[in-house]
Structure 1
């Protein structure tokens, strides 16, 4: 009986010690990401945003960075790189002069940017010349493929931190693909990371909105700013039922680019 009581006392003491032990402080995030979105235009873009709001927090937890999403684009007006080291544009771009001026100051001050799909769309690049012609280099929207499909992408700059884990070619997730008026190959400030491989042609399912030949950059960065742009971010949809028929994060290889790109933009060690 005495032995039993003694064991019970020792067990109680051990449990009490564990309960009173200090909880290790959680490591501070290596960097912080602020994602801007609209979430009101085109069911395919809205679907991508909903996916992003689930996928990015999981990736942030796995790779020790902070992730915050907001619809308040006015936060760009006075945003500083010390507050958020990386900014994402998921399905839109700044619309007011104050937002645009604030974002340009943020980038010139050393902030980092990751834009997706429609974040580059414009038919009037002169309305924000710095963004469309200097930062992105695209100029105006020229054409698109339809309907949304996968594409075989050819990696062009493997030494870049965002592409070191990518094979020479890989299959993207499903997306609608954009072409631009400006030829990015002729821009010395733009470094193309991946483009459509010719084996993808014809690209699209509508004969009147398909690409049959040509050169189409899909992923790129800038030599002047810490930025990445990815042309994907448009899910295939059943527009009658508003149901997504694909996922932007379905390609594990493509996800490597997003993860490693974010880590590079945030100044962390890539995966």
Structure 2
């Protein structure tokens, strides 16, 4: 079998997991959730939660574990969600597909592990889409999360001060990307230096965003560093955070004029 039929089969498999949906939907969303060494147990729980959100809020959901979906026409999707699935795993055709989608006005949601690229500089376009580069994280701890922008829909289901337990990613900004923080973590509420032997984490000080938005190419990007373990995808507040960010990315609504 030559390469073209094989590619066609891969794309077909990538989109085969689309559930049956009602005809009256607001918009369509593609979710990529690839199993990785540290992130796989969450997948069935997250899928169930996303399907409930789709039924509740009347949007069409396509769920896939195959990045080959990005080789197909993405124009029907109001947003694509990279759920713990970094673009560093994409081949050249899949990278080109995501770039083409964003340049045509597509929108992206980047969740937790999807922020990380193991080898910075291999795909700078993706690093700029995320807006920050992952540096390191200390051991998972409980900390106080605060609203940096209470006008963003990703905060509407959250208290002003929120106790949450997660991996508090630290970031750098090698490309000088301007982001708009949505949530921040108070480093005074946990130990940023608590890490495994042989590694060093210093924290980021008073300016430590854990969720943000920005414009990129012709589209909108919502990013959250929260969402490490499986139980989080059962938590109503976390799902409110994700849904608010996804709805904003897909529709561009919910914020006062700037």
TM-score by length of 1: 0.74
Whole-angstrom distance in 2 between the partners of 1:211 and 1:197: 14
CA displacement 1:220-243 (0-9 Å, x = unmatched) = 1113331111112322xxxxxxxx
Shift of 1:75: 1.7
1:265 equivalenced with 2:249 (yes/no)? yes
Q: List gaps (5 residues or longer) in structure 1.
A: 1-25, 236-245
CA-CA distance at 1:205 after TM superposition: 5.7
Is the Cα–Cα contact under 8 Å of residues 34 and 68 in structure 1 kept in the other structure?
yes
Deviation for aligned residue 1:253: 2.7
- Structure 2 equivalent of residue 37 of structure 1: 33
- Map of 1:180 onto structure 2: 171
User: What residue number does 2:42 align with?
Assistant: 48
**Aligned equivalents of 2:33, 2:243: Cα separation in 1:** 19
Deviation at 1:259, TM superposition (A): 1.4
Separation of aligned partners in 2, 1:112 and 1:223: 9
Cα offset, 1:158, TM superposition: 1.5
Map of 1:243 onto structure 2: none
Displacement, 1:47? Answer: 1.7
Whether contact under 8 Å (1:151, 1:203) holds in the other structure is no
Distance (whole Å) between structure 2 residues aligned to residue 63 and residue 248 of structure 1 = 20
Q: How far off its partner does 1:28 sit?
A: 1.5
**C-alpha spacing 1:187/1:114, structure 2 compared with 1 (3 Å):** same
After TM superposition, give the deviation of residue 219 of structure 1 in Å: 0.3
Please give the per-residue CA displacement for 1:77-111, whole angstroms capped at 9, x wherever unaligned: 24333x22111111222321111111011011111
Judged with a 3 Å threshold, the aligned counterparts in structure 2 of structure 1 residues 54 and 250 are, in CA distance, closer, same or farther, namely: closer
Between the aligned partners of 2:86 and 2:204, the Cα distance in structure 1 is 30
TM-score (norm 2): 0.77
CA distance in 2, matches of 1:93, 1:123: 10
Partner of 2:109: 114
Q: Number of residues paired by the alignment?
A: 227
Unaligned runs of 5+ in 2: 1-21
1:199 Cα shift? 3.8
**Inter-CA distance 129–207: structure 2 relative to 1 (3 Å threshold):** closer
**Is the 1:202–1:213 contact (alpha carbons within 8 Å) kept by the matching residues of 2?**
no
Shift of 1:257: 1.5
Cα distance 1:29–1:130, how it changes in 2: closer, same or farther (>3 A)? same
- Paired position in structure 2 for 1:201: 190
**Inter-partner Cα distance in structure 2 for 1:88 and 1:150:** 26
What's 2:160 paired with?
Answer: 168
Q: State how far apart, in whole Å, the 2-side matches of 1:203 and 1:255 are.
A: 26
Equivalent of residue 252 in structure 1, options 236, 240, 252: 236
